[in-house]
Structure 1
Amino acid sequence: MESKGSNLIKLLLLVNFSVLCVAQDFDFFYFVQQWPGSYCDTDKSCCYPTTGKPDADFGIHGLWPNYNTGSYPSNCDSSNPFKQSQISDLTSSLQREWPTLACPSGNGIQFWTHEWEKHGTCSESNLNQHAYFAAGLSLKQKANLLQSLTSAGIQPDGQFYSLSSIKGAIKDGTGFTPYIECNVDSSGNSQLYQVYLCVDTSGSDFIECPVFPHGKCGSSIEFPTF
């Protein structure tokens, strides 16, 4: 028979483990922006938001806590669901800078709910819900990817550009080395899809990435129109 003391120790360990699962530490964020022309130019296609076609600019995909090992926490706190009322003052900015392209057409709430509950809750020791989305908006202003690319003569014109020139233009414009993710268009061409930059745990300052995601692009990448 187990003693009351051993049962109490097990209970305390269980409580402590539960707390750790909720308040997980992390090492840095990936700040991920996507090119809408590449999201839409696939066999799956896309649906414009109910607010209308987004601007021909990179849109925020997410701000994702990560570990230096390359793994990441997710869905850290089911007791802290997304609440639209907490970002009411940010909604118009989010619809412009963090738009949804998923089908069926939506107003962004489902997209932001997913991003907060999967990723944002793992950063809540540093950023509450409002601060999390405000941080994403602020980072996008700091890293104007389209300006960095067009300043280097890299235009969203359906032409092909070298991967090295794309990475170089973004590093010159932002000061930090990006990770470039490609997808494949309906014709099988590799195209510029998402750009990852790394951010410190406060969600405010860019840093050099401790680790990059897996995957690679071809040496020549299409930058599709939108």
Structure 2
Amino acid sequence: MKPNSPFFIKLLIIQCLSVLSVSQDFDFFYFVQQWPGSYCDTEQSCCYPTTGKPASVFGIHGLWPNYNDGSYPSNCDPDSPFDQSQISDLISSLQKSWPTLACPSGNGSKFWSHEWDKHGTCSESVLDQHGYFEATLDLKKKANLLHALQSAGIQPDGESYSLNSIKAAIKDAIGFTPYIECNVGQSGNSQLYQIYLCVDTSGSNIIECPVLPRGRCGSSIEFPSF
């Protein structure tokens, strides 16, 4: 077959597209929830959504496809932009469980659009747009982080708690080891910011994490009020 023949060129294009589609597969999800008190207690501060101050519970940040080597795909399908009409039945649940705290105040649609475009489009082989947001909401019901911590005597009261006790409380309640991400509060203290759990490629089942993000907290971290 001649390298410049139409058939050879067509075959090459098919092979390239095949490689691209394989590169968009993934090994697991990070399911990430954030504590609003820590998000707001920074120099950048926060803005409550137009729907009002969120509840004092962990809010969803996102459901992020990842690879076992620690890397991750992103913005996989620009031809599948966020379409709020596809999730109209989920809006009230999203405003409650997946609120935006970014400034200026918004109703959440910009936040959800970013999460879908960057992360959700990389999971379209298993979850369409409605399925992606519905699966994430269902995971939050399975992983009630505040209840897990409070059951172990760990309260959002501005006090500091050991990192090990926070991890143990979540593992005891949910059955799997979390990854804890900290940020720095206005007073300069390390504080509980985000909690990562890992989920299988169906988006349904929490699993042990194949790999953890980089970064670490101190041995004692603050749990600010909200």
Q: Where on the TM-score scale, by shorter chain, does this alignment land: which range?
A: over 0.9
Q: C-alpha separation between the residues in 1 aligned to 2:5 and 2:184?
A: 57
Measured in 1, the distance between the counterparts of 2:156 and 2:194 equals 14
Residues in 2 aligned to 1:19 and 1:110: alpha-carbon distance in whole angstroms: 32
Structure 2 length-normalised TM: 0.96
Separation in 2, partners of 1:75, 1:163: 33
Q: What's the counterpart of residue 18 of structure 1?
A: 17
Using the alignment, how far apart are the partners of 2:216 and 2:188 within structure 1? 15
Counterpart-to-counterpart distance in 2, 1:146 and 1:214 = 24
**What's 1:90 paired with?**
90
Partner of 1:191: 191
Q: Are the counterparts in 1 of residues 148 and 170 from structure 2 also a CA contact under 8 Å? A: yes
- Post-superposition offset of 1:3: 4.5
CA distance in 1, matches of 2:13, 2:190: 48
Q: Displacement, 1:112?
A: 0.4
Aligned-pair CA distance for 1:22: 4.8
Q: Report Cα offsets for 1:90-123 as digits up to 9, x if no partner.
A: 0000000000000000001000000001000000
Note the 1:152-163 alignment, pairs <5 A.
152-163=152-163
Unaligned runs of 5+ in 2: none
TM-score (norm 1): 0.96
Name the count of aligned residue pairs.
Answer: 225
Counterpart in 1 of 2:165?
165
Contact 1:97 1:137 in 2 (8 A): yes
Question: Once superposed, which parts of structure 1, at least 4 consecutive aligned residues long, lie more than 4 Å away?
Answer: 2-7
Q: Percent identity?
A: 73
Structure 2 equivalent of residue 9 of structure 1: 8
Residue 55 of structure 2 is aligned to residue 55 of structure 1: yes
User: Which residue is equivalent to 2:124?
Assistant: 124
Aligned to 1:200: 200
- CA deviations 1:41-66 (Å, max 9, x no partner) are 00000000000000000000000000
Gap regions ≥5 residues in structure 1: none
Q: Which secondary structure state, in structure 1, belongs to the residue aligned with residue 161 of structure 2?
A: strand
Following the alignment from structure 2 to structure 1, what is the Cα–Cα distance between the partners of residues 210 and 136?
20
The equivalent residue for 1:210 is 210
Aligned to 2:73: 73
In the TM superposition, residue 187 of structure 1 has moved relative to its aligned partner by: 1.3
